[in-house]
Chain A
């Protein structure tokens, strides 16, 4: 077999890994750490025993919160049992189950495994035999879910993390549904070797998805609002260090000066250090407030990874204030000073590099997915994109994208504009019982996609309307009553 030599060891769960816990359709991102209690789906346990096992292993939670790998057991469902033909004789009187709550609790306390509890429940159910075969299936499935404490540990991926975020914390990712994210990656032609510009406020999920698709080849410039980049979700992917070498960040607040040609790092740093410290202070505290509000609504879902990623996060958020702290506080040890200076130097270098990358105006694509109005972002960031390259704008609402569409048509320099959304439906597939699931997501957000072209409108400085906004005949038709 021609397996790649690295595939083996890479798939072992190691201490310090970013992993995802899975129980049925529920996910939770965690850091694999020893002696750390994890609470997931009303169960608590430690991951210590999982270390050394292979990703994809299913574990059973045993007493004391330790994990035991679960062997796949062939269930004795082959034997045909008695079953009723319909439910005409089944009455919901609450008396069919002979085991009481206390009985079940006693079984659990005795350390009886979930599978056996389910078996006992079946044996003590007065109506189980009268249920139809289908209803029996359903009953077993339901009870299993409740009493079998099994979790699977899997590797994080865009598929897993985008599904997890959409289910648990949609507010943090602007309600970007996973299939919409899938469309963005495709329509943005995100692939190895690209130079991408990404502006998102989706906790770094869109950035992470793009990084996964680029596999460390090419470069990404992340545009950020306020005090610093947010990469809580990005850090859940567990990317190797090398993926971050060609990841740059550039503040949105400097886009204007970069476009007008007045940008210089010296100017920007003096700005933050001296000239307008008060305004800067205000800005930052506002951002921090916003950040803390966001953090407050954290559910347990990503709590752990956020915690574990905190040091790095904080460092990034703190960086802009380094200059001030350096100037004001002279009690810091020289070692600390040195460290800070080195860090600041590094940051300055990377910012200069990011500015240079943008100034080339030859990016291979632009992705916008933020809580801000997309029109100003799109209009200025498109300046940095080469001709004949795709761009994708996500918005939770349709109306701002209508405005983007109109403004882009006026400005020119883009073709093939398309406003769309996707509709996603899950199915239950069972022999003779296939149908769509009972509920579906009502909306996953809207996308505006297009392709840049050389804008001759701008070249000749002739911004007069060369193209009508929409086909004249259709316009007339719609306006006529």
Chain B
């Protein structure tokens, strides 16, 4: 297993995802002789995991079962230990596309934080690209290094413990893209510009507050960045539900058979939304929005380093 290459079977040292159902899951380090407690009972690594195929159903000691999934950056994002606020896959997707990341790209990132975006970047730029990630918090930087090693992607990433606003990324003229998620991104625009390749590249800054965005945009303009564009993306999730609505009784006019008409109409319509009429109710499938959703993560500001 590695975060950049699928493998068929679970091996010692892998980070596997234990899936309990309904978005409930957690990561596990697979170790010979290791044991993991779940609400369905114990999983014994040597007998239940090692040598089994990823995607297998594993029965726990109390008889309940779980699925063991191969890790991906997206599963890691919802399973990683939080050391900071993290970026989620919705924003990450847009960042990846708008920064034009692909295999072979050199990327600079700050801060590393909990490594959610870092894993996604590494996946996309492998096998020939490189990520330089800068984190001013020493413990976070060390923890990130450890995780990259465990996930077998450490050859694609350099972690530096320094302040990007003061000392930059430690590289010049090599990056195809720069990503900033720091409290005062405008202080790092100059460093970002010098990290980017001479012929140009893309930059993205993530900020929760509009005041930060305003200052960042001014700094980008001062440094002659072009195509400055700020956007916001939100995820709307729908629960698939079978809904049943009662047909109101409006009374019957003599000789009228309106409920039968409705019945016939919905029968012919059955394929579309599995409409069923039984005892004065209509059933249908619907995508129901969540009662509450994430309404704001941050503004994403993109720009291009201009050639001239």
**Which residues of A are in contact with B by a Cβ distance under 8 Å?**
1-3, 7-8, 11, 54-57, 71-72, 157-159, 162, 178-179, 181-183, 185-187, 189, 191-194, 212-217, 362, 364, 386-390, 398-399, 401-403, 405-406, 415-427, 429-431, 434, 446, 451-454, 456, 469-471, 474-475, 478-479, 481
How far does the alpha carbon of A212 sit from the alpha carbon of B103 in the complex, in Å?
8
Residue pair B70, A388 in contact (C-beta under 8 Å): yes
Q: How far is the CB of B57 from chain A (nearest CB, A)?
A: 6
Known: A189-B74, A424-B233, A431-B218. A54 touches B307 (CB 8 A): yes
Residue A420 contacts which of B6, B68, B237, B272 (CB distance < 8 angstroms)?
B237
Which residues of chain B from 220 to 234 have a CB within 8 Å of any chain A CB?
224, 228-234
Listed by A's residue number, 8 A-B pairs whose Cβ atoms lie within 8 Å are A182-B96, A185-B97, A194-B6, A387-B53, A388-B6, A406-B274, A415-B67, A416-B19
On chain B, the residues within 8 Å of A446 by CB distance are 238, 287
A427 touches which of B4, B198, B230 (Cβ 8 Å): B230
Q: A406-B240, A470-B239 are in contact. List 15 more A-B contacts (CB 8 A).
A: A56-B304, A158-B97, A193-B4, A389-B55, A399-B285, A402-B273, A415-B69, A422-B236, A425-B231, A429-B228, A431-B214, A446-B238, A470-B241, A475-B241, A478-B241
Is the C-beta of B94 less than 8 angstroms from some C-beta in chain A? yes
CA distance A419 to B241 in the complex (A): 11
Assess the B55–A388 pair: CB atoms within 8 A: yes
CA distance A100 to B6 in the complex (A): 68
Contact B285 A453 (CB under 8 A): no
Which chain B residue shows the least CB distance to A195? B6
- Cβ-defined contact, B55 with A452, below 8 A: yes
A189-B233 contact given A429-B217, A479-B244, CB 8 Å threshold: no
| Chain A residues, CB < 8 A from B286 | 402
Q: Which residue of B lies closest to A398 (CB)?
A: B287
Q: B96-113: which have CB < 8 Å to A?
A: 96-98, 100, 102-104
Which of A182, A364, A456 makes the CB contact (< 8 A) with B93? A182
Nearest-Cβ distance from residue A161 to partner chain B, whole angstroms: 11
Partner of B102, one of A72, A212, A454: A212
In the bound complex, do residue B213 and residue A387 qualify as a contact, i.e. CB atoms below 8 Å apart? no
Given A2-B173, A3-B173, A416-B23, the answer on whether A387 and B127 have CB atoms closer than 8 Å is: no
Across the interface, A415 reaches (CB within 8 A) one of B21, B241, B272, namely: B21
| Distance in angstroms between the alpha carbons of A8 and B301 in the assembled complex | 28
Whether B94 lies near A179 (C-beta < 8 A) is yes
Residue of B nearest to A469 (CB): B242
What chain B residues lie within 8 Å of A7 (beta carbons)?
Answer: 197, 199
Of B123, B239, B240, B274, the most chain A CB neighbours within 10 A belong to B240
List residues of chain A with CB within 8 A of the CB of B69.
388, 415, 451, 453
Per the bound structure, the CA–CA distance linking A284 and B21 in Å amounts to 46
**B142 beta carbon closer than 8 Å to chain A:** no
Q: How many A-B residue pairs have CB under 8 A?
A: 221
Determine which of B127, B210, B233 lies in contact with A423 in the assembled complex, contact meaning CB atoms within 8 Å.
B233
* B174: Cβ under 8 A from any A Cβ: yes
Q: B158 within 8 Å of A by Cβ?
A: no
Which 10 pairs of residues, A with B, have the shortest CB-CB distance?
A387-B55, A215-B103, A388-B55, A1-B173, A182-B97, A388-B54, A186-B93, A182-B93, A427-B230, A388-B70
Partner among B4, B56, B238, B244 whose Cβ is within 8 Å of the Cβ of A398? B238
Does B93 contact A434, Cβ atoms closer than 8 Å? no
Q: B233 near A419 (CB under 8 angstroms)?
A: no
Q: B146 contacts the other chain (Cβ, under 8 Å)?
A: no
Contact indicator per residue, chain B 4-24, by CB within 8 Å of chain A (1) or not (0): 111010000000000101110
Q: Contacts A2-B173, A159-B97, A212-B102; is A183 near B90 (CB within 8 Å)?
A: yes
Contact of B258 with A by CB under 8 A = no
Q: Is B89 part of the contact surface with A, judged by Cβ < 8 Å?
A: yes
Closest to B172 in A: A1
Q: A11-B199, A402-B240, A431-B218 are in contact. Are A189 and B72 (CB under 8 A)?
A: yes
Interface centre among B6, B90, B94 (most CB of A within 10 A): B6
Chain A residues contacting B53 (CB-CB under 8 Å) are: 387-388, 454
* Complex CA distance for A402 and B271, rounded to whole angstroms: 12
**Known contacts A185-B93, A406-B285, A420-B236; is A157 also within 8 Å of B100 by CB?**
yes
Complex Cα spacing A469 to B243, Å: 13
Nearest-CB residue, chain A, relative to B176: A7
Residues of B contacting A189 with CB < 8 Å?
72-74, 123
